[in-house]
Structure 1
Amino acid sequence: MLKIRNLGRWFFPLNTVIGLALGVLLLLIGAWWMSKHIKRRKCIQLKKSFFKRNGGLLLQQQLSSSDGSVQKTKIFNSNELEKATDYFNDNRILGHGGQGIVYKGMLADGSIVAVKKSTIVDEEKLEEFINEVVILSQINHRNVVRLLGCCLETDVPLLVYEFIPNGTLSQYLHEQNEDFTLSWESRLRIASEAAGAISYLHSTASIPIYHRDIKSTNILLDEKYRATVADFGTSRSVSIDQTHLTTKVQCTFGYLDPEYFRTSQLTEKSDVYSFGVVLVELLSGKKPIFVAHSLKTMSLAEHFIELMEDSRLFDIIDAQVKGDCTEEEAIVIANLAKRCLNMNGRNRPPMREVAMELEGILLSRNGINIQQMVEVDNSSRSISCSSFEIGIDVPLDCKLLTSSETW
């Protein structure tokens, strides 16, 4: 009997201890759940705040009030893009640019995308930023990278593009690559495709778009090494001038239109100048700013013009393509580049004309005679050419050398 009473004395405090422990455990679980709930609510509120600050409400308004023309614009949520990029893992970085960092991502449906983590958008330019996102998402051209959508519920906007797998034109021109080198014909085709894309943006898109940062690093190559014009600076503000949408992107040194310094305006002819530099890159294999043998830093455009004026075009042709590059083609491309690099923007050809000339050279290379009428109008002359074979009959101000002359 005494033993049972002693056991009872022990059971009472043991039950009390267990009850207290369970109570404390329940309190801790409750506190953890409340803390998690509060954090989740704060996170949701923060996302809503970012979404509003980055122009999400404006975008939703445009989507709901449109006639269906902007339905291609998708608003991604932050969770799916975080998972797609492995939470923006450094191993997923494709490249850095003036407008942000680009990551490779895989969406839930298995599609591969490029996610650009943009720089902070000027809150005073939100309407213009959203207008640009909507317009660029409607671009439908095989040689222009597609903007699939955006995510606005993060600290900085995230822009989602189709993924272009084979890097940039600049990499193949200026970096050693034993696996693949760009032949002369490939360079002509890439130039023609890029020119066609820029021409489309200038004159065929629903609202003319000026890229304003044309350069070899913004020309991507797809799985078949076709050119794709990319990076429209959509994280930067835009201004709408009458019927033209122009992106306010700071052009890269070496490609910048010199007329900009006189007028403080970048126009469609600024794209033409920048493309002229790209043409010289394709001809020469040199960077837009390079170091000469004298260790002097030189502008490729200026160096090219000097050689052209001294009739020393051959000195600048890339050794990798000299064997495949015909004399006539080199002269035609060089003269086209020279016209694009004219100091006076009004004297530069429109991109449509540039694209037609390059396409004609390609067709001529394949032995196709072109039967068409080309009208070229500028301040000094009007020229009509019909039933010509581009690359054999040299257009405009190009002068063919005789077989005995040095080119």
Structure 2
Amino acid sequence: MGFLKMPFRLIMLVVLVQLLLLAMSCHRGTSRASTASAAHAQAKPGCLNRCGDVEIPYPFGTEPGCFLNEDFRITCNDTHFNPPKPFLWDSNIDVVNISIDGHLNVMQYIASDCYDRKGNSEPSYDATISLSDFTVSDTGNNLVVIGCDSYAIVSGFLGEDSYESGCRSTCDSLDYVTNGSCVGIGCCQIEIPGGLKELDVEALSYNNHTNVSSFNPCTYAFVVDQSEFHFTSNYLALGGIPDQFPMVLHWEITTNKTCEEEKICGLNASCDEPKDNNNTSSGYHCKCNKGCEGNPYLSDGCQDVNECEDPSLNNCTRTHICDNIPGSYTCRCRKGFHGDGTKDGRGCIPNQNTALKVALGVGISFVFATMIISWLHFLWKRRRYMKLKEKFFEQNGGRILQRELSKLQGQSSEKAKIFTEEEIKRVTNNYANVIGRGGSGDVYKGFLPDRTPVAVKKSNIVDHKKNDEFINELVVVSQINNRNVVRLLGCCLETQVPLLVYEFVGNGTLFEHIHEKDKGKATNNLSWEVRLKIAAETAGALSYLHSETNVPIIHRDVKSANILLDEKYTAKIFDFGASKLVPIDEIIKNTILKGTSGYLDPESCQTSKLTDKSDVYSFGVVLAELLTGEKALMSDGQEERSLAMHFLSSLEQNRLLEILDGRIVNDGNKKQLKEVARLTARCLSVRGKERPTMREVALELKGQYF
């Protein structure tokens, strides 16, 4: 099966290699684009290349000898601006971008005409720009008028002829004004022709804004690059509009001589023929020859492009040899191939001997690549498996467990075995034999390699919110060494849910023997003597937990269902998921209620305080079950009643013999039954201080039994 998957893995490897090559190609393309951009923006050697954020390419410049002529002089103002700002000549025309292709982006001040609420005029301003030999570009500049009682006039010269045009904008209310719409309602725009010089914009009002002064006291007008303008109704308010807007100018080199005579362009560059289209252009532009890039106005600004470095720039096949030549490239085939080496030509065809060698080489390479990929895949799967086990170890509280167990160093307890997931599957025959299901998990029967039966508890914890309970149970049980407590043999933490391995106790629970006749348990074998033995052993185990371990342990869920019986009816306590380690004489306050209804200490329920007397009360309910054969919550078909309260009430009314299990009344010592009943009542006292300790209970039951 692994071999069948090899072609897919090889394809994935090829795809990854191609993606890597593509990324390298893109990187080379980016580098080339960056280099080209830098070359285009080159200033004359020894001259300032930048003013603030704006690059200054030749024929523009900031110092004598750095610009072609006065038309291209840039003033870099670093006195009043930080960072410095470039301006055309000695004007206030703010330059924001210079393009080698003949475009110049500048900022233009706006014209305004404002009035107060009575219609009195305030200072107005016209926007005038004198462009020398530069002109307004034909790439989409618009005259824009903003206002609700407004119109504007733009004038200038188009070649030898004068030009004048205008646009009007009106509105009665802001309700009619739409953001982004400039069609005459609050905003009007018209396209102006390229080639205009000495541009003048005048803002005017029809009625001095008297009807709209509450929301629009001014007329604003300006020429703007239409791609950089987006109308908003905020512009209608006083002071709501910027001081400047961008527009695009056209520049070219004018001369009475030809471009070649003037030697305008550098090496590897040529002149664009002058265009005289409605008097919009009559000068020259330079451009790099095909196969070159850079600044064509510098003597050596256009450099040869190496098309062989970028596959997108050449037409050679993959098996080619690309040779770069000035302004172009050639393709030829490698040794062992013949043809012209081009994609749209004959390409490169392998010679006969070469084809055999290539086939053999490909075959060997494929086998070798298959072996390498298989090995890498194996290592990857192994690493992933190890990482997954580490992840589960962390999720299942492995670090917390290590920390808690380290606190118990030096204490006498058998070391629990750490099982692997594979060992657990072999022990349980892949979880085939379920012997119990509960709220905290499922229990499976299994056998160790020496055929010792075990019970494997698989926790239901998936969201890991109850990790502390699981780790608590593991820590508690690992330090217990008592014949009447189920012994922990080991654990497994490298699975998605944690696992605990216990000794197997195969005769069911005390609850089943007392209450579940329909399940075939040998209920009749629970004579009074056996019941007293079970009670004494359980009390002894709880006494051990309370007073004989290094740190006292409160079980918190003592009940007949948590007492297992072996074939000799020896009692064994289990399920320590809710248990607490409690320092001596300490009372746990504000504890979260744990346990089973019917067995819960009423004092703990009221005070939220946990003591060892909580286990005493729960054990008292178990004693009542042994004496009466009734469940902790009795049901008469309509409602449930507490066995503890029923037992205490019957004892007070001197009706003990009426509530005792008939099977033990006949074979038990009545005096002994009464003594155990009185002990049960003391355990069930509502006030914890009036209850005996588990040690006292164990000694009294042991005395009764022996």
Task: Note whether the superposition's TM-score is higher than 0.5.
Answer: yes
The structure that is strand-richer by fraction is 2
Which AA in structure 1 matches 2:545? Answer: L
Counterpart in 2 of 1:44?
386
Rounded Cα–Cα distance in structure 2 between residues aligned with 1:31 and 1:216: 59
Q: What is the CA distance between 1:241 and its match in structure 2?
A: 5.0
Higher relative contact order (CA 8 A, sep 6+): 1
Q: Deviations over 1:294-330 (max 9, x none)?
A: 6432111111111112111111111222211222112
Match of 2:527 among 183, 203, 207: 183
Q: What is the CA distance between 1:124 and its match in structure 2?
A: 8.1
Counterpart in 2 of 1:77?
420
1:129–1:238 CA contact under 8 A, matched in 2: no
**How does the TM-score come out when normalised to structure 1?**
0.74
1:72–1:138 CA contact under 8 A, matched in 2: no
Q: Find the residue that maps to 2:602 and give its secondary structure.
A: coil
Q: Find the residue that maps to 2:393 and give its secondary structure.
A: helix
Rounded Cα–Cα distance in structure 2 between residues aligned with 1:66 and 1:276: 31
Pair 336,94 (structure 1): closer, same or farther in 2 beyond 3 Å: same
1:350 is aligned to 2:688: no
Q: Deviations over 1:366-400 (max 9, x none)?
A: xxxxxxxxxxxxxxxxxxxxxxxxxxxxxxxxxxx
Unaligned runs of 5+ in 1: 1-19, 364-407
Report the structure number with the largest CA radius of gyration: 2
1:120–1:156 CA contact under 8 A, matched in 2: yes
Counterpart in 1 of 2:274?
none
Considering only aligned residues, what root-mean-square deviation do their CA atoms show, in Å? 3.4
Counterpart in 2 of 1:216?
560
1:280 is aligned to 2:280: no
Which AA in structure 2 matches 1:85? Answer: T
1:81–1:107 CA contact under 8 A, matched in 2: no
Q: What is the CA distance between 1:100 and its match in structure 2?
A: 1.5
Pair 172,21 (structure 1): closer, same or farther in 2 beyond 3 Å: farther
The structure that is helix-richer by fraction is 1
Match of 1:253 among 584, 593, 597: 597
Which AA in structure 2 matches 1:284? Answer: T
1:57 is aligned to 2:417: no
Counterpart in 2 of 1:106?
447
Match of 2:682 among 339, 362, 368: 339
Rounded Cα–Cα distance in structure 2 between residues aligned with 1:249 and 1:120: 19
Map 1:140-155 onto structure 2 (within 5 A).
140-155=481-496
Task: Give the aligned length.
Answer: 343
1:174 is aligned to 2:518: no
Pair 221,281 (structure 1): closer, same or farther in 2 beyond 3 Å: same
2:414–2:478 CA contact under 8 A, matched in 1: no
Q: Deviations over 1:160-196 (max 9, x none)?
A: 1111111100111001146452111000000000000
1:264 is aligned to 2:608: yes
Q: Find the residue that maps to 2:667 and give its secondary structure.
A: coil
Rounded Cα–Cα distance in structure 1 between residues aligned with 2:587 and 2:387: 34
2:541–2:573 CA contact under 8 A, matched in 1: yes
2:644–2:684 CA contact under 8 A, matched in 1: yes
**How does the TM-score come out when normalised to structure 2?**
0.44
Rounded Cα–Cα distance in structure 1 between residues aligned with 2:370 and 2:630: 66
Counterpart in 2 of 1:300?
643
Rounded Cα–Cα distance in structure 1 between residues aligned with 2:382 and 2:638: 59
1:187–1:282 CA contact under 8 A, matched in 2: yes
1:311 is aligned to 2:665: no
Rounded Cα–Cα distance in structure 2 between residues aligned with 1:317 and 1:353: 24
**Residues 238-247 or 21-30, more deviating:** 21-30
Q: What is the CA distance between 1:347 and its match in structure 2?
A: 0.6
Match of 1:229 among 560, 573, 590: 573
Which AA in structure 2 matches 1:283? Answer: L
1:147–1:161 CA contact under 8 A, matched in 2: yes
Which AA in structure 2 matches 1:141? Answer: N
1:125–1:238 CA contact under 8 A, matched in 2: no
Identity %: 50
Rounded Cα–Cα distance in structure 1 between residues aligned with 2:609 and 2:597: 16
2:514–2:523 CA contact under 8 A, matched in 1: no
Unaligned runs of 5+ in 2: 1-361
Pair 139,30 (structure 1): closer, same or farther in 2 beyond 3 Å: same
Q: Deviations over 1:176-222 (max 9, x none)?
A: 14645211100000000000000010011121100010000111001
2:509–2:565 CA contact under 8 A, matched in 1: yes
Which AA in structure 2 matches 1:47? Answer: K
Counterpart in 1 of 2:218?
none
Q: What is the CA distance between 1:117 and its match in structure 2?
A: 1.2
Q: What is the CA distance between 1:250 and its match in structure 2?
A: 1.9
Which AA in structure 2 matches 1:53? Answer: Q
2:593–2:608 CA contact under 8 A, matched in 1: no
Map 1:370-385 onto structure 2 (within 5 A).
none
Q: What is the CA distance between 1:261 and its match in structure 2?
A: 2.0
2:557–2:579 CA contact under 8 A, matched in 1: no
Q: What is the CA distance between 1:361 and its match in structure 2?
A: 0.7
Counterpart in 1 of 2:548?
204
Map 1:85-104 onto structure 2 (within 5 A).
85-89=428-432, 92-104=433-445
1:160 is aligned to 2:501: yes
Match of 1:330 among 673, 678, 686: 673
2:554–2:582 CA contact under 8 A, matched in 1: no
Q: What is the CA distance between 1:243 and its match in structure 2?
A: 7.6
Rounded Cα–Cα distance in structure 2 between residues aligned with 1:310 and 1:335: 13
